[in-house]
Structure 1
Amino acid sequence: MLDKVVVDGNEVLLTEDMFTLDSIDSKESEAITRPSLTFWQDARKRLFKNKGAVVGLVILTFIVLMAAFAPILSKFTYDKQNLYHAKVPPKFPIVSSLGVMDGRASLDGKDVYAEKNIEETYLFGTDALGRDIWTRVWTGARVSLFIALIAATFDLLIGVTYGGISAYYGGRVDIIMQRIIEVITGIPSLVILTLFIMVFDPGILSMALAMAISGWTGMARVVRSHVLRLKNQEFVLASKTLGSSDIKLIKKHLLPNVIGQIVVMIMFTLPSAIFYEAFLSFIGLGLQPPNASLGVLINDGFKSFQTHPYMMLIPSVVICLLIFSLNLLADGLRDAVDPKMRNQ
């Protein structure tokens, strides 16, 4: 049907000779131009598009590398004392020209290095016993990362297994296993830790045992909820009809479909475990001096905060950056593995 259109105020009649028929290639129109991506390839692509997650990954990588190599490359040890070099302010060559961390006392502005004729350079200064804070901070970061890895390991080995079995078998098995979790979560973690401290000395062993008992319950509940949702899906019922064993169903069909949520939960567990260790060490229930921990360093620096604030500020900044980077990365991973966020 021909029609008229208005062009520059004049009516123009549309005729057939004004149009040309374009040929259509069915093979070309049905061709898939977008490359096929697996779930993890697509998640990685979306993760690196998230600027916050990339920033968190860079900061985390830097802290991990410093925790791994800085204590080894330092000529000082974390527990070596030198009372003559006690409370020497930090002297960092990169920023010393700006009047920050230039080796001068914060109160009187005197060059402590020149007064005491100190030839060594303490990048982060020294504490009240003359121990190098640079080495102690990165050794403490190593301890914090180790505690975080312990928590993640317990989440994987105990939480995922417990939650998966509870949801898959259901019924009376699920009821009994969930009542056990309720009993465990009803006991405060500090009470459990205190009981282990009465048997063992305060330290990594006591915290690890406390987390082994109560730290995995959150992961178990998350895995249980997802497995309950998936176990009645058609692909699971089809595999069960074909004679697949329970172990194969859980391993091949259920766990791969909740692995994204497991990774996200682990990433949120890491900063919680780091804060848990720092808090316990700060109140005296964790690592004890002369062992280095970020919580121990903050506690030591708190005693001299008014006269030597760097002793507390430096480890506080490191632990804040560590927790901040893990939270940024966890948020990015949560968005990357969520199918609902795929087109956003």
Structure 2
Amino acid sequence: MELTKISFKKYNGKRLNAEELSGYSATYWKDVWRRLMVNPTAMLSLAALVIIIILVIIGPLISGHDISSINPRRANLNPSLENWFGTDNLGRDLFTRVWYGARASIIVALVCTLIQTVTGCLYGGVMAYFGGWVDEVLMRIIEVMTSMPTLLITILTMMVLGNGMVALLVAMSVTSWCGTARLIRGQVMQLREAEYVLAAVALGASPFWVILKHLIPNTFGLLMLTIATSIPDYIFTEAGLSFLGIGLQPPNTSLGVLISIGQQTMDFFPIQLLVPGLILCTIVLAFNLLGDGLRDALDPRMRQ
């Protein structure tokens, strides 16, 4: 039997002959995506997030109502064809406000996650690569920052800077990068003795080039897990702070602000609390389930 007539089975069930198999190469990220696709929970969560993001972008536009237009005559209406989620206590369209608030919550989470990831990667990479007294000094700084209660730091920052969006971003990002820095430090300390790193140093590459080009990219798998778990944490934290009156406050809008307003009328108009609360739970749950799927897909021990 000739080798070219032998067929092999690919992971997705497609039959490949020897010639096709010789030209097929499954990269690490292709293999991760393949394993993620066979996880129905992760894919359902991803589909839910895609739908939510689309509604966050176009939801305020398709409703036909302005976010801040007040009409006391239409206050506290039940859901109808004109107002799909009803109206709030000032007659504002709840559908428009929910998706506008979800947009603000997601933006806050994404920006805080970006700050956490970039700062943590650079800080942790410098700690691990240089080692010695540099590692000791930078690690002591992290220990001092993490020894203080995070909620207390957030409250003090919001009291100084106010209740705006920028103040909230600063308050939530002051110490959030410390955990990522420690995580990256441990990974980079394992990678810095690798042969490709020694070769780059021998060829005259600068320390920061080695960190950014060779060390940080090899921690992407771990970073993706950190990002997937950080985003829902930030969304929930923002909602909690706004609900307690520490975070964003009217006229700013977020899911936390809407939940805070809705709990004031929940005895008579529970829809004003249930809708933003349900959207918040769906977003957080979808991100958490997707993070679990990514964890399994990125773990080489889970390969079958």
TM-score calculated relative to the size of structure 1: 0.80
Helix, strand or coil at the partner of 2:65: coil
**Residues 157-179 of structure 1: CA deviation (Å, up to 9, x unaligned):** 21111111111111111111111
- Match in the other structure for 1:110: none
1:250 CA displacement: 1.7
Instruction: Write the letter of the residue equivalent to 2:44.
Output: V
Instruction: Write the letter of the residue equivalent to 2:244.
Output: I
Aligned counterparts of 2:214 and 2:88: Cα–Cα separation in 1: 55
Helix, strand or coil at the partner of 1:303: coil
Max Rg structure: 1
Is 1:57 matched with 2:46? Answer: yes
Aligned counterparts of 1:336 and 1:251: Cα–Cα separation in 2: 25
Instruction: Write the letter of the residue equivalent to 2:37.
Output: F
> Which structure 1 residue ranges, 5 or more long, are not aligned?
1-22, 93-120
Which structure has the highest helix share of the two? 2
Helix, strand or coil at the partner of 2:174: helix
Is 1:316 matched with 2:277? Answer: yes
Q: Tell me if the contact between 1:189 and 1:210 (Cα under 8 Å) persists in the aligned partners.
A: no
Instruction: Write the letter of the residue equivalent to 2:74.
Output: H
TM-score calculated relative to the size of structure 2: 0.90
Instruction: Write the letter of the residue equivalent to 2:64.
Output: K
- Match in the other structure for 1:256: 217
Aligned counterparts of 1:309 and 1:211: Cα–Cα separation in 2: 30
Aligned counterparts of 2:150 and 2:208: Cα–Cα separation in 1: 32
- CA spacing shift, 1:250–1:200, aligned 2, 3 Å: closer
Aligned counterparts of 1:311 and 1:177: Cα–Cα separation in 2: 47
Aligned counterparts of 1:296 and 1:237: Cα–Cα separation in 2: 52
Instruction: Write the letter of the residue equivalent to 1:321.
Output: T
- 1:177-188 maps to which residues of 2 (within 5 A)? 177-188=138-149
Q: Number of residue pairs matched?
A: 292
- CA spacing shift, 1:243–1:291, aligned 2, 3 Å: closer
Helix, strand or coil at the partner of 2:142: helix
Aligned counterparts of 1:272 and 1:186: Cα–Cα separation in 2: 20
Q: Tell me if the contact between 1:160 and 1:220 (Cα under 8 Å) persists in the aligned partners.
A: yes
- 1:1-344 maps to which residues of 2 (within 5 A)? 33=21, 35-91=24-80, 121-343=82-304
Q: Tell me if the contact between 1:79 and 1:291 (Cα under 8 Å) persists in the aligned partners.
A: no
> Which structure 2 residue ranges, 5 or more long, are not aligned?
8-17
Aligned counterparts of 2:68 and 2:154: Cα–Cα separation in 1: 26
Aligned counterparts of 2:242 and 2:224: Cα–Cα separation in 1: 27
Helix, strand or coil at the partner of 2:253: coil
Instruction: Write the letter of the residue equivalent to 2:216.
Output: L
Aligned counterparts of 1:27 and 1:243: Cα–Cα separation in 2: 50
Helix, strand or coil at the partner of 1:91: coil
Q: Tell me if the contact between 2:168 and 2:248 (Cα under 8 Å) persists in the aligned partners.
A: no
Aligned counterparts of 2:292 and 2:129: Cα–Cα separation in 1: 29
- CA spacing shift, 1:126–1:155, aligned 2, 3 Å: same
Helix, strand or coil at the partner of 2:26: coil
Percent identical pairs in the alignment equals 42
Aligned counterparts of 1:26 and 1:144: Cα–Cα separation in 2: 56
**Residues 43-72 of structure 1: CA deviation (Å, up to 9, x unaligned):** 112111111111111110111111111112
Aligned counterparts of 2:249 and 2:203: Cα–Cα separation in 1: 58
Instruction: Write the letter of the residue equivalent to 2:65.
Output: F
Q: Tell me if the contact between 1:78 and 1:292 (Cα under 8 Å) persists in the aligned partners.
A: no
**Residues 184-243 of structure 1: CA deviation (Å, up to 9, x unaligned):** 112222222222223322121111111331111111111111111111233333443444
- CA spacing shift, 1:28–1:252, aligned 2, 3 Å: farther
Aligned counterparts of 1:157 and 1:233: Cα–Cα separation in 2: 23
Helix, strand or coil at the partner of 2:205: coil
1:25 CA displacement: 6.1
Over the residues paired in the alignment, what is the CA RMSD in angstroms?
2.1
- Match in the other structure for 2:10: none
Aligned counterparts of 1:41 and 1:257: Cα–Cα separation in 2: 16
1:262 CA displacement: 0.7
Q: Identify the range of structure 1 (186-195 vs 234-243) with the bigger mean alpha-carbon deviation.
A: 234-243
1:79 CA displacement: 1.9
